Each structure stands twice: as structure tokens, then as C-alpha cells.
């Protein structure tokens, strides 16, 4: 009996300890917050009052806050009063800047997407460009919002971006004039194709009412009931309001379908978004994407891919699957904080990097760590942690260093200005040989220069062989070879140069909308999309998983 009594007592004590442990766990975080806040506040007070040199208490605290947030992710940012006002200006989509969306990838600040028709876009800045410095200020350690703020200024002022571009060894510098930036949701809409029966809508961002704008555009394009398919262009669309993305998905999917979920630590941030309206458009849909397509763009593409409702064509998207909210803070400050991740209908996260929280924005690629494979409604495999991978990969060719040099030196812009001064109109459907030859003559007269990597190596070689007379002919031969290579580059990329110049002239005489319309004839990704829509069997084969 004594043994049984002892056992009961021990069991009772263990139950009490277990109950106390369970009861303590929910409040444990609050104890840790209070404990460490007390330590921090006393440390801060001692340093501010007793350190040998006088320090600014505000700067000291800001450094502490920044250091704390830098262990999280680059999208969690504290705004002081001045930055808060700047953020409000940017959120109005009407400000003086250069028109770029900055993001973080592999610890570097990159251009997520340039605003179509904006100063950066016109100067040749591309999605994926790494911003190393702005007006000499290194971007290492800066948040994307801080980078964005450095590009904003007075209308007409200039800013110099130091760019590292994939495939180029040398640093690229672009001097860009700040202009008033007004970002529209839908920047172009029309019926295209051989029979003018395929709708094309270019969505630049997911701002307020973008869902309604897409509805209006579809209704207008299909007013006669002849539209046989739709191409939704989300290239270089950095995202925006999540609810607007859901409204757009609503137009293509039956009601009652969960198209995106947000999941975080706090229950109130966990939400499911379902389609509400009857299907508005039931014909084939192709979505164009590239590395500048992010966030809400990936929600739309991912949902329609998972539900086998649309074919994704182009290049892999950016891979931003984190959701932020802005919380007001004391003294007119605020905190933008990541509160959840979003998941597509198959259950996958498209976030391409994971933040370790061990150091400043330390991250690892999820392509290697996220090995889960999910299935679409028809059983097609889709990968997690890689952004949105297109069903059909189609990359865009560029002219490389030659194109960069033309933009850097403003050659296309300056020639168009000169051409506009002496020609009352420009009505050609493509650039004529006469105008192209005028442009080549203009380049000669304006001392256009393009420096190849070989030239820098040749300079080093020439310096090392100074005084060696026998080296002269060999050096001259190398110089001739470099000049020949430059001529060959002009021949190789003539069609692309013609395209760039033609679109600039169309823009000068007829505006940005007509420029966009004219650009469609050169768009190889769009051509493939049109071919796809005109081949019902191929779309059906892809979406059914039989391709």
C-alpha cells in the first residue's frame, strides 16, 4: 500500500509539473521579451549617457533596430519619419524617379523590373541587373527600400547607377535623368494575331482596381464574341496587392476554388482566398513571364498553372513568396514586416530563397533544399521553391555589349532627336535601309565607342611590352582583329539594332502606346504564344500532362 501511495504521489507531482510546464509555455515568449528588453534598454541608456564620446541617441537606436531586422529578411524594414513620408510618396505611383523596382537575391540588390517606358527602361536597365552603387554610394548592406529612396529626387536631376550584368566582366554605368513616374496597371490591350481574334493584355502592376481593369479589357476585346484566346503579359510585373491578383484569377476559374493561402505564426494572418464569380472567359489562356515577374504575378501564374487553366511561357519568375504588412509605429514611424508566406492551390511555396537569420540577410537557395514536388489538378508535377517555372521555356536574345554601349552613350536617343528635328513624320512599319545607314553615319560622326574586354587586356599587354620594338606589328594585328570583331557585332545584331531604333522613332512620333503595339511584331515569346493558342491540341496536351 505504501508503494502504491508513493507512486500516486510521484505521478501527481509529475502531472502538476507537466501542467505548469504547459501553462508556462504560452507566456514564455513574453518573459524572454521582457528579460532581454530590460537588458537592452539598460545597455542603451549606459552607452548613451556614459560612453567616452558623445553619441546621438537616435542614431544609436536606429543602428540597433537595423542590426536586429537585418537578421530577418530584406523586406522587413523600419521607416523613420523621413523615410515614412518617402514611402508614402512612392506608394502613390506618381513620383520623380527613374522607374525601377529593387529586390534582394543572393545577398545582392537587383532590379526586379524596370517600369515600362520609364527612364531606366529607356536607358537599357534590365530585370536581373545587380545595382552595386548609386551616385557612388555602395548598396552593400542597404535594404531595397533604401536603394529605391536613393533613386528618387528632383525632376530633371540625374543619378548614376553602377551595374553588374550577367555575362559582362566590366562594370556598367548608366547616367539616368529623373522624371515624373506614373505607373499604370494595364499599359496595353488589343486584339492581335493573323485573324485579330486573340486578346493581348499587358499588366504592369497589381495596383488598386487592376482586377476591374482586366475585366473591362476582356469585355471590350470580346465585345463581338470573336476572341478565341487570351495572352496575359506579366513580364517585368513586380506584383502589388494580393487581393487584386485573386480578382484576376476569378475571371478564368469557376467559383469556390481556393487559389492562394497565406500562412504565418499568427492565426489572424492565415487566410484562404477563393474565387467568387462565374467564369468570365473560358477560352485558352497563355501567360508570359520572366525573371522580373514577382509576388502577385507569381500568385496569378502559379494558381492558373496549378489548376491547369493556363500555359506559362517564357522564363522562370523571380520567386518572392513572402507577404508584408505595414504597421504604424510611434512618432510617425512605421514597420513593414513579413507576416506570412503564400501558397498556390497545389500547396507549394514559390519563395526561391530561405533566410537563415544568422547574419545580415543571410540566405540560401531553396532550389537545392526544397525538393518537394507537387501536382497540378491534372497530375502534372510542379516544383517548390523555384518561383514559377514555365511550361514552355523561351528566352529572349539580346545584343549584349553593343546594345549596352548604345544605351549608355545615348546614341539611339540622340539620333532620334536629330531625326525628329528634320522629319515631320515617321510612318514606316519597319526601319528602312536609308534610316539605318543614317544611324551608322551618325555613330561615326559622334565618335561612338564600344570597349571590348579584349581591349583592356591588350592595353595591359601593350604596357608590359613597352620598349620592345618587335612587338609593334603584333600589337597592331591584335588591334585590327578587335576592330574587325566590332564590325562583325554590328552585322550580327543588325536586326536587333533596327528594332531598337524603329521603336524609339515610333515612340517619338506616336507615343508609348503605339511603341508597345509596334514592339509586338518583334516579340518572339508572343509569337510562340499565338502559335500555341492557334493549336488547341498542343495546349490540351500540355495541360493534361501528356506533352
Please write the tens of the pLDDT for every residue from 407-445. Answer: 888 888 889 888 988 899 999 999 999 999 999 999 999
| Structural contact between residues 199 and 227, judged by C-beta atoms closer than 8 angstroms | yes
Supply 383's cell numbers: 516544383
Best-predicted range by mean pLDDT among 92-101, 175-184, 478-487, 500-509? 500-509
For residue 68, list its beta bridge partners: none
Q: Which residues contact 333 (CB under 8 A, 6 or more apart)?
A: 78, 79, 80, 81, 84
Confidence bin at 92 (pLDDT 50/70/90): low
The 8-class DSSP code of residue 312 comes to E
Which residue in 369, 422, 252, 236 sits closest to 315, CA to CA?
236
**pLDDT(471) > 90:** no
| Model pLDDT, residue 14 | 45
Q: Treating both helix axes as pointing N-terminal to C-terminal, what angle do 433-445 and 411-422 enclose, rounded to 10 degrees?
A: 120
For residue 229, list its beta bridge partners: 198
Our answer to whether residue 336 is catalytic in this structure is: no
**pLDDT(188) > 50:** yes
The whole-number average pLDDT for the span 483-510 is 90
The 8-class DSSP code of residue 311 comes to E
Q: Specify the higher pLDDT residue, 451 or 390.
A: 390
Dmax over CA atoms of the chain, in Å, equals: 113
From the candidates 189, 210, 295, 346, give the one annotated as an active-site residue: 295
β-pairing, 353-355 with 392-393?
A: unpaired
CA separation for the pair 266, 269 (Å, rounded): 6
| Model pLDDT, residue 399 | 61
Mean pLDDT (the chain, rounded):
86
Our answer to whether residue 295 is catalytic in this structure is: yes
> Hey, CA dihedral for 415, 416, 420, 421, is it positive or negative?
negative
φ, ψ for residue 447, nearest 5 deg: 55, 45
β-pairing, 311-314 with 285-289?
A: parallel
Triad 106, 403, 417: Cα angle to 5°: 125
CA separation for the pair 486, 444 (Å, rounded): 13
- Name the percent of the chain in helix, strand, coil, to the closest 5: 45, 20, 35
Determine the number of helices (DSSP H) and then strands (DSSP E) in the chain. Answer: 18, 23
On whether the 94-182 domain is CATH 2.30.42.10, my answer is yes
Note the Cα 155 to chain centre separation in Å.
24
From the candidates 184, 251, 320, 336, give the one annotated as an active-site residue: 320
CA distance readout (Å), 156 to 118, 119, 178, 179, 272: 13, 11, 5, 6, 45
| Model pLDDT, residue 80 | 85
| Region of poorest pLDDT, from 220-229, 303-312, 345-354 | 345-354
Q: Specify the higher pLDDT residue, 365 or 136.
A: 136
Torsion angle of the four alpha carbons 72, 183, 501, 151, in this order, in degrees rounded to the nearest 10: -50
Structural domain spans, the chain? 2-55, 94-182, 186-395, 401-525
From the candidates 73, 236, 250, 306, give the one annotated as an active-site residue: 306
Confidence bin at 158 (pLDDT 50/70/90): very high
**pLDDT(52) > 50:** yes
CA separation for the pair 229, 223 (Å, rounded): 13
**pLDDT(392) > 90:** yes
Our answer to whether residue 320 is catalytic in this structure is: yes
| Structural contact between residues 109 and 144, judged by C-beta atoms closer than 8 angstroms | yes
For residue 355, list its beta bridge partners: 363
Ranges assigned E (strand) in 237-393: 258-263, 271-274, 285-289, 311-314, 322-329, 333-343, 353-355, 363-365, 373-375, 381-383, 392-393
- Give the three-class secondary structure for 454: helix
3-state SS record for 507-523: HHHHCHHHHHHHHHHHC
**pLDDT(317) > 90:** yes
β-pairing, 258-263 with 333-343?
A: antiparallel
**pLDDT(462) > 60:** yes
| Model pLDDT, residue 213 | 96
For the entire predicted model, the pTM comes to: 0.79
| Structural contact between residues 382 and 375, judged by C-beta atoms closer than 8 angstroms | yes
| Structural contact between residues 286 and 231, judged by C-beta atoms closer than 8 angstroms | yes
The whole-number average pLDDT for the span 43-67 is 93
CA atoms within 13 A of residue 436's CA, in its CB half-sphere: 16
| Model pLDDT, residue 219 | 97
Q: Which residues contact 262 (CB under 8 A, 6 or more apart)?
A: 242, 269, 270, 271, 323, 340, 341, 342, 343
**Topology at the third CATH level for domain 186-395:** 2-enoyl-CoA Hydratase; Chain A, domain 1 (3.90.226)
CA separation for the pair 268, 323 (Å, rounded): 13
Amino acid at each position: 500500500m505504501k508503494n502504491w501511495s508513493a507512486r500516486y504521489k510521484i505521478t501527481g507531482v509529475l502531472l502538476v509539473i507537466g501542467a505548469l510546464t504547459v501553462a508556462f509555455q504560452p507566456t514564455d515568449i513574453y518573459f524572454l521579451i521582457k528579460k532581454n528588453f530590460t537588458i537592452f534598454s539598460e545597455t542603451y541608456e549606459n552607452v548613451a549617457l556614459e560612453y567616452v564620446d558623445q553619441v546621438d541617441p537616435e542614431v544609436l537606436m536606429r543602428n540597433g533596430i537595423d542590426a536586429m531586422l537585418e537578421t530577418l529578411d530584406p523586406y522587413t524594414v523600419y521607416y523613420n519619419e523621413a523615410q515614412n513620408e518617402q514611402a508614402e510618396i512612392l506608394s502613390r505611383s506618381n513620383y520623380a524617379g527613374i522607374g525601377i523596382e529593387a529586390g534582394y537575391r543572393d545577398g545582392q540588390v537587383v532590379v526586379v523590373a524596370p517600369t515600362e517606358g520609364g527612364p531606366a527602361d529607356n536607358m537599357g536597365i534590365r530585370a536581373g541587373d545587380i545595382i552595386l552603387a548609386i551616385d557612388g554610394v555602395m548598396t552593400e548592406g542597404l535594404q531595397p527600400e533604401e536603394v529605391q529612396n536613393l533613386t528618387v529626387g528632383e525632376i530633371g536631376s540625374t543619378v548614376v547607377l553602377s551595374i553588374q550584368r550577367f555575362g559582362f566582366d566590366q562594370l556598367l554605368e548608366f547616367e539616368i535623368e529623373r522624371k515624373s513616374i506614373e505607373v499604370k496597371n494595364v499599359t496595353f490591350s488589343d486584339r492581335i494575331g493573323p485573324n485579330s481574334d486573340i486578346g493581348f493584355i499587358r499588366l504592369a502592376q497589381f495596383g488598386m482596381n487592376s482586377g476591374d481593369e482586366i475585366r473591362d479589357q476582356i469585355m471590350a476585346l470580346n465585345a463581338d464574341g470573336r476572341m478565341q484566346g487570351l495572352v496575359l503579359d506579366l513580364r517585368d510585373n513586380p506584383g502589388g496587392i494580393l487581393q487584386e491578383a485573386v480578382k484576376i484569377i476569378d475571371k478564368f476559374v469557376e467559383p469556390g476554388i481556393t487559389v492562394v493561402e497565406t500562412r504565418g505564426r499568427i492565426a489572424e494572418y492565415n487566410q484562404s482566398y477563393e474565387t467568387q464569380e462565374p467564369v468570365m472567359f473560358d477560352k485558352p489562356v497563355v501567360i508570359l513571364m520572366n525573371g522580373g515577374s514577382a509576388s502577385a504575378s507569381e500568385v496569378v501564374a502559379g494558381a492558373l498553372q496549378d489548376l491547369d487553366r493556363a500555359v506559362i511561357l517564357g522564363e522562370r519568375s523571380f520567386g518572392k513568396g513572402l507577404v508584408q504588412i505595414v504597421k504604424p509605429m510611434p512618432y510617425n514611424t512605421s514597420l513593414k514586416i513579413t507576416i506570412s508566406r503564400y501558397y498556390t492551390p497545389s500547396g507549394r511555396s514559390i519563395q526561391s530563397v530561405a533566410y537563415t537569420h544568422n547574419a545580415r540577410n543571410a540566405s540560401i537557395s531553396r532550389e537545392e533544399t526544397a525538393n518537394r514536388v507537387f501536382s497540378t489538378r491534372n497530375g502534372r508535377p510542379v516544383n517548390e521553391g523555384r518561383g514559377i517555372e514555365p511550361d514552355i521555356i523561351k528566352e529572349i536574345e539580346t545584343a549584349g555589349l553593343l546594345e549596352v554601349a548604345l544605351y549608355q552613350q545615348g546614341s539611339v536617343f540622340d539620333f532620334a532627336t536629330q531625326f525628329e528635328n528634320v522629319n515631320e513624320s515617321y510612318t514606316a512599319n519597319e526601319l528602312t535601309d536609308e534610316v539605318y545607314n543614317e544611324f551608322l553615319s551618325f555613330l561615326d560622326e559622334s565618335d561612338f565607342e564600344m570597349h571590348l574586354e579584349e581591349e583592356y587586356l591588350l592595353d595591359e599587354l601593350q604596357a608590359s611590352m613597352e620598349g620592345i620594338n618587335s612587338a609593334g606589328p603584333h600589337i597592331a594585328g591584335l588591334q585590327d582583329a578587335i576592330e574587325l570583331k566590332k564590325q562583325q557585332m554590328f552585322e550580327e545584331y543588325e536586326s536587333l539594332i533596327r528594332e531598337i531604333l524603329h521603336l524609339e522613332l515610333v515612340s517619338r512620333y506616336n507615343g508609348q502606346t503605339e511603341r508597345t503595339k509596334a514592339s509586338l511584331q518583334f516579340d518572339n515569346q508572343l509569337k510562340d504564344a499565338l502559335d500555341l493558342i492557334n493549336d488547341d491540341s498542343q495546349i490540351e496536351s500540355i495541360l493534361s500532362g501528356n506533352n
